[in-house]
């Protein structure tokens, strides 16, 4: 029953988002059919666009995993934003300043970006454990601190003065995760993302530590009294989540960019919230949830290029989905009627 | 050298004027966050609420050619957004943090989407002839040297924010609504049992937080700048969460925490040509607020422990 209810509710949330999207497009556009066609079917029009969806889903998989893990442990840190951004800056620095053989270069870079991400991820957790601060509040502030630190690093040490805009020097050709299917952006980073999905799934559902994470999240009081070291759970989950986000920033840079030009922090960490929610904080479902958001993103980009509707429409869809998917009592009336029907039917 | 710059800056009356100016939007939002928090709900949507209000204020003032109608529009927008949040949290049992993040996502994309529809641009509302709210000179005070330069000639919403500090302090201390909000926040069950309509009080508290945050949004886009630009709130809604936590429900401490932020922010503005890298100056206000917040939390915890120890020793 409850599984069916969840499915129906999910479907209704998607239905509301869909109807609202179509209504907005008809309201604002002079070519609504073109816009709707490109938004929903654009990515299917060519092999290139379809594989773009996979490529665009890679950073979303990483942040979705990171936030899902933190949510699972009952915490609420947004530090993944800083981890991802700084991981990308570390990647830029190493991709420009170091020289290593082709296979080894990306591996070393990813490792260091993950380590830096993990260290940054630990900060709000450590402050929470030792000074009883709220990790959401401190992580939101630290995101700005690390963003400015990153901008400073790039402008001071890595900038290409000849570029004319904010951009670093070009990365060494060895520091690249190349495309796996020619003519598309489908890159090796996707396989790394899937490998992390599997690792995190095993961690959360097949290890003792994973059990501790789940108990700490679902029943913190019980966790404390059953002898689980909750401080350790808080710190370690956020270190792992930070490392995953840092790795995500690194993969994204090496796969999709030849120089660093993130003048604003990309919204991947915030997108991670909806991925985590749609996946039910289960790593197993993250690639699908990320695929969905990436599909809409690619479609929206095509829509804004080929019609008069702008791709910011996606954040409206995203917000509506988050609101309705997480609304516990949304459709509660429907559930009650179903249960009443069942109960009455059982009596008869 | 840098120390000399700082000392020079600190001796300028204009600097202290700028402290109040920079503190105003954070102060209004802090007060809003405080009312919500005292009623037991964390309003994470402040950032997005402020952004939408800033946008609506500019658009309404441009189309009506009245700054005050624009201001009213901004406040109304704040009221509506916080009621949407309240509906999801209180009626549909949503997680307040996640719903807040959803509304922030909506605000950051939605305002750009709407801005493009109206102006064909995504960056700023430069092509809209929007209006600003006035600044006010205070008679007598404006003629006092130094103090006049610091305290007079501020934006009308800066004065409003300072007056609201007193109003909200009074509200929590002496009015029925204030006491109901505190009761509901501290123990909803106990409040319910003495006949307080818990949900209605929570709706009211969130509405008030939206109204105050709407004023902050109006200050940003209709204060000194006079236009809306994408993402112009720059995390002030999040800073208010920290200053609110430091204030722990006391409007006066909320004002001091906001002034601390204003102090850092305007020091940062003054030091931009001092040779300190720009990015370090920009990160300073956030860093100082983190430090202040962490010190505050550590102190609260230490006091708690001391009390426990004393209680244990008493036995």
Digit-coded pLDDT (tens) for B16-68:
888 999 999 999 999 999 999 999 888 899 999 999 999 999 999 999 999 89
**A333 near B CB under 8 A:** no
Concatenated DSSP letters for A74-129? T----THHHHHHHHHHHHHHHHHH----TTHHHHHHHHHHHHHHHHHHHHHHHHHH
CB contact under 8 A, B235 and A127: no
CB contact under 8 A, A323 and B101: no
Concatenated DSSP letters for B207-247? HHHHHHHHHHHHHHHHSSS-S-BTTTTTTHHHHHHHHHHHH
A112 compared with B193, residue with greater pLDDT: A112
Nearest by CB to residue A151, choosing from B102, B279, B297, is B279
Tell me which chain B residue has its CA closest to the CA of residue A314: B109
**A218 near B CB under 8 A:** no
* Under 8 Å between Cβ of B271 and B3: no
Helix (H) or strand (E) holding B73: helix B67-86
Please give the DSSP secondary-structure letter assigned to residue A187.
B
The per-residue pLDDT for B137 is 80
**B276 near A CB under 8 A:** no
C-alpha closest to that of A102 among A180, A178, A174: A174
Nearest by CB to residue A329, choosing from B44, B91, B289, is B91
**pLDDT, mean of residues B104-124:** 91
**pLDDT, mean of residues B292-307:** 89
* Under 8 Å between Cβ of A137 and B242: yes
Other beta carbons within 10 angstroms of residue A136's beta carbon come to 21
Average pLDDT, chain B: 89
CB contact under 8 A, A141 and B289: yes
In sequence order, the 6+-apart residues with CB closer than 8 A to the CB of A181 are A51
**A23 near B CB under 8 A:** no
- Domain ranges in chain B are 16-237
CB contact under 8 A, B293 and A137: yes
* Shortest CA gap B14–chain A (Å): 27
The per-residue pLDDT for A1 is 45
The per-residue pLDDT for B315 is 57
Q: Between A and B, how many CB-CB pairs are < 8 A?
A: 135
Q: B225 φ, ψ to 5°?
A: -80, -50
Q: What percent of chain B has pLDDT over 90?
A: 48
CB contact under 8 A, A328 and B94: yes
**pLDDT, mean of residues B131-159:** 80
**B123 near A CB under 8 A:** no
CB contact under 8 A, B241 and A137: yes
**pLDDT, mean of residues B99-128:** 90
Q: B154 φ, ψ to 5°?
A: -80, 165
Q: Which long-range contacts (CB under 8 A, 24 or more apart) does A178-181 make?
A: A181/A51
Distance separating alpha carbons of residues A138 and A133, to the nearest angstrom: 7
Nearest by CB to residue B108, choosing from A136, A315, A326, is A315
Query: For chain A (length 348 residues), average pLDDT per consecutive 10?
Result: 75 90 91 90 88 92 95 91 95 90 89 96 94 91 94 90 84 82 82 95 92 87 86 93 96 92 88 90 93 92 90 90 83 71 62
C-alpha closest to that of B247 among B22, B31, B26, B41: B31
Distance separating alpha carbons of residues A341 and A4, to the nearest angstrom: 15
Q: For A166, how many CA atoms within 13 A lie in the half-sphere containing its CB? A: 11
CB contact under 8 A, A145 and B241: no
The per-residue pLDDT for A347 is 46
Distance separating alpha carbons of residues B83 and A214, to the nearest angstrom: 33
> Can you tell me whether residue A175 is helix, strand or coil?
coil
**B201 near A CB under 8 A:** no
In sequence order, the 6+-apart residues with CB closer than 8 A to the CB of A41 are A299
Please give the DSSP secondary-structure letter assigned to residue A43.
G
Other beta carbons within 10 angstroms of residue B62's beta carbon come to 20
Sign of the alpha-carbon dihedral angle for A335, A336, A341, A342: positive
The per-residue pLDDT for A122 is 95
The per-residue pLDDT for A238 is 95
Q: With contacts defined as CB-CB under 8 Å, which chain A residues touch B106?
A: 315-316, 318-320
CB contact under 8 A, B109 and A316: yes
- Domain ranges in chain A are 57-299
Q: Would the pTM of this model clear 0.80, i.e. be above it? A: yes
CB contact under 8 A, B289 and A330: no
Alpha helical stretches, state H, chain A: 2-28, 32-41, 47-72, 80-97, 104-131, 135-153, 188-206, 208-218, 220-225, 230-256, 268-278, 286-306, 313-326, 332-347
Q: Is ipTM over 0.85?
A: yes
Distance separating alpha carbons of residues A248 and A246, to the nearest angstrom: 5
Distance separating alpha carbons of residues A72 and A63, to the nearest angstrom: 14
CB contact under 8 A, A310 and B99: no
C-alpha closest to that of A192 among A62, A28, A339, A30: A62
**A263 near B CB under 8 A:** no
Tell me which chain B residue has its CA closest to the CA of residue A322: B102
Q: B135 φ, ψ to 5°?
A: -100, 160
Question: Chain B interface, mutation test: which of A140, A267, A301, A331, most B Cβ atoms within 10 Å?
Answer: A140
* Shortest CA gap B90–chain A (Å): 10
Angle separating helix axes A313-326 and B96-119, nearest 10 degrees: 160
* Under 8 Å between Cβ of B278 and A151: no
Q: A276 φ, ψ to 5°?
A: -60, -40
> Can you tell me whether residue B45 is helix, strand or coil?
coil
Distance separating alpha carbons of residues A249 and A82, to the nearest angstrom: 10
Lookup: tokens for B28: 């209004």
Q: With contacts defined as CB-CB under 8 Å, which chain B residues touch A322?
A: 98-99, 101-102, 105
Tell me which chain A residue has its CA closest to the CA of residue B104: A319
**B103 near A CB under 8 A:** yes
In sequence order, the 6+-apart residues with CB closer than 8 A to the CB of A256 are A55, A185, A187
In sequence order, the 6+-apart residues with CB closer than 8 A to the CB of A30 are A308
> Can you tell me whether residue A46 is helix, strand or coil?
coil
CB contact under 8 A, B101 and A322: yes
Distance separating alpha carbons of residues B150 and B58, to the nearest angstrom: 28
Question: Chain A interface, mutation test: which of B34, B37, B94, most A Cβ atoms within 10 Å?
Answer: B94
Q: Which CATH architecture has domain A57-299?
A: Orthogonal Bundle (1.10)
Largest CA distance in chain A: 82
Nearest by CB to residue A323, choosing from B99, B117, B278, is B99
* Under 8 Å between Cβ of B261 and B58: no
* Shortest CA gap A246–chain B (Å): 21
The per-residue pLDDT for B14 is 83
Lookup: tokens for A216: 């700490």
B4 compared with A251, residue with greater pLDDT: A251
Distance separating alpha carbons of residues B285 and B30, to the nearest angstrom: 16
Over its C-alpha atoms, chain A yields an Rg (Å, rounded) of: 22
Question: Tokens 């957004």 correspond to what residue?
Answer: B81
The per-residue pLDDT for B54 is 95
**B302 near A CB under 8 A:** no
Lookup: tokens for B162: 């300072």
């Amino acid at each position: 029953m409850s599984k069916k209810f969840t499915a129906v509710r999910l479907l209704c949330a998607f239905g509301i988002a869909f109807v609202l999207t179509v209504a907005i497009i008809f309201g604002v556009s002079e070519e609504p059919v073109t816009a709707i066609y490109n938004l929903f079917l654009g990515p299917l029009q060519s092999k290139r666009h379809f594989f773009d969806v996979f490529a665009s889903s890679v950073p979303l998989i990483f942040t979705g995993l990171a936030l899902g893990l933190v949510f699972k442990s009952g915490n609420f840190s947004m530090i993944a934003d800083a981890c991802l951004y700084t991981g990308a800056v570390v990647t830029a620095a190493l991709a420009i300043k170091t020289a290593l053989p082709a296979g080894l270069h990306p591996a070393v870079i990813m490792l260091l970006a993950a380590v830096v991400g993990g260290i940054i991820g630990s900060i709000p957790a450590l402050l929470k454990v030792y000074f009883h601060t709220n990790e959401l509040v401190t992580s939101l502030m630290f995101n700005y601190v690390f963003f400015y630190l990153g901008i400073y690093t790039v402008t001071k040490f890595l900038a290409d003065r000849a570029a004319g805009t904010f951009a670093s020097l070009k990365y060494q050709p060895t520091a690249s995760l190349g495309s796996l299917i020619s003519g598309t952006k489908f890159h090796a980073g996707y396989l790394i993302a899937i490998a992390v999905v599997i690792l995190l799934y095993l961690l959360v559902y097949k290890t003792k530590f994973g059990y501790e994470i789940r108990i700490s999240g679902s029943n913190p009081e019980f966790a404390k009294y059953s002898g689980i070291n909750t401080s350790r759970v808080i710190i370690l989950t956020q270190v792992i989540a930070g490392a995953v986000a840092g790795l995500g920033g690194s993969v994204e840079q090496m796969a999709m960019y030849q120089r660093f030009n993130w003048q604003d922090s990309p919204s991947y960490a915030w997108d991670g919230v909806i991925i985590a929610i749609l996946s039910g904080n289960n790593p197993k479902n993250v690639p699908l949830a990320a695929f969905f958001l990436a599909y809409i993103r690619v479609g929206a980009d095509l829509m804004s290029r080929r019609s008069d509707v702008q791709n910011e429409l996606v954040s409206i869809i995203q917000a509506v989905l988050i609101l309705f998917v997480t609304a516990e009592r949304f459709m509660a009336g429907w559930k009650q009627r179903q249960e009443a029907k069942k109960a009455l039917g059982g009596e008869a | 050298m840098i120390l000399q710059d700082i000392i020079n800056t600190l001796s300028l009356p204009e600097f202290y004027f700028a402290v109040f100016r920079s503190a105003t939007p954070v102060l209004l939002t802090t007060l809003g966050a405080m009312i919500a928090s005292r009623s037991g709900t964390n309003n994470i949507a402040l950032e997005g609420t402020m952004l939408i209000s800033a946008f609506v204020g500019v658009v309404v003032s441009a189309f009506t050619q009245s700054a005050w109608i624009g201001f009213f529009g901004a406040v109304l927008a704040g009221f509506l957004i916080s009621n949407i949040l309240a509906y999801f949290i209180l009626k549909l049992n949503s997680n307040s943090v996640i719903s807040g993040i959803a509304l922030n996502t909506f605000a950051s994309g939605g305002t750009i989407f709407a801005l493009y529809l109206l102006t064909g641009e995504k960056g700023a509302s430069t092509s809209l002839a929007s209006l600003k709210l006035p600044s006010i000179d205070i008679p007598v005070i404006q003629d006092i040297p130094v103090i006049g330069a610091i305290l007079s000639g501020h934006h009308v919403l800066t004065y409003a924010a300072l007056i609201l500090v007193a109003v909200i302090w009074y509200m929590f201390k002496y009015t029925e609504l204030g006491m109901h909000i505190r009761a509901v926040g501290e123990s909803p069950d106990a409040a319910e049992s003495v006949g307080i309509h818990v949900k209605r009080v929570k709706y009211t508290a969130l509405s008030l937080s939206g109204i105050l945050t709407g004023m902050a949004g109006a200050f940003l886009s209709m204060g000194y700048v006079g236009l809306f630009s994408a993402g112009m709130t720059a995390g002030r809604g999040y800073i208010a969460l920290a200053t609110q936590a430091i204030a722990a429900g006391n409007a006066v401490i909320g004002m001091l925490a906001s002034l601390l932020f204003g102090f850092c922010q305007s020091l940062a503005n003054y030091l931009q040509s001092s040779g300190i890298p720009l990015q370090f100056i920009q990160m300073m206000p956030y860093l100082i607020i983190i430090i202040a917040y962490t010190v505050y939390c550590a102190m609260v915890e230490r006091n708690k422990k001391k009390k426990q120890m004393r209680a244990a020793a008493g036995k």
